[in-house]
Amino acid sequence: MRTMGIMPFNRILCAVDFSPESIKAMSMAESIVSNSPDCKLLIVYAFELPAVPLPDYLTTVEGPSEIDEYMAKAQKLMNEHVERINRDAGREISEGKIITGKPVDTILKLIDTYNPDMVIMGNRKLGFKKGILLGSVSARVSASSPVSVLIVR
């Protein structure tokens, strides 16, 4: 009987939103990448900016805006995770990106440009009504992705 070997991974993309479920997905991705000598991990947080533009009188206020503060917090979280993963691995295995845009579209575009062997994502339970109406990001990415998507619970 012929057995197939395990395909080595070169690139893994892990989409996060820093929820507990996505942190579990990041841990799974870290485990896979740290056990694959030549594999790299791209961690991405894609989020959509508010659709309603701020009125002129709010944009002239001095100091950082709420969006700037949110971006700074997200960047700090991303940096902490990437630094910890690289430190634990003892080598540079991961990098992080924060991208604004519709999460599903942004992740699918990144799959096309980064060309990962696999995408790993967490799965937040939206509830029946919300799930039926909106669908989850992980389900929509999985349905349209040209590569395998591992959804971690």
Residue 52 has pLDDT above 60, yes or no: no
Q: Any idea what the Cα angle at residue 81 is, between residues 75 and 87, rounded to 5°? A: 130
The mean pLDDT of 123-140, rounded to a whole number, is 65
Give me the DSSP letters along 22-45.
HHHHHHHHHHHHHTSTT-EEEEEE
**CATH code, 87:** 3.40.50.620
- The pair of structure tokens assigned to 122 is 């967490």
Residue at 2 is within a domain = no
pLDDT, residue 62, reads: 56
Average predicted confidence (pLDDT) for the chain: 85
Total-model pTM: 0.84
Is residue 15 included in any domain, yes or no? yes
Question: What one-letter code names the amino acid at 62?
Answer: E
Residue 5 falls inside a structural domain: no
Q: Is residue 4 included in any domain, yes or no?
A: no
The single residue listed with the structure tokens 């630094």 is 83
Domain assignment of residue 44, given as a range = 11-152
Domain count, the chain: 1
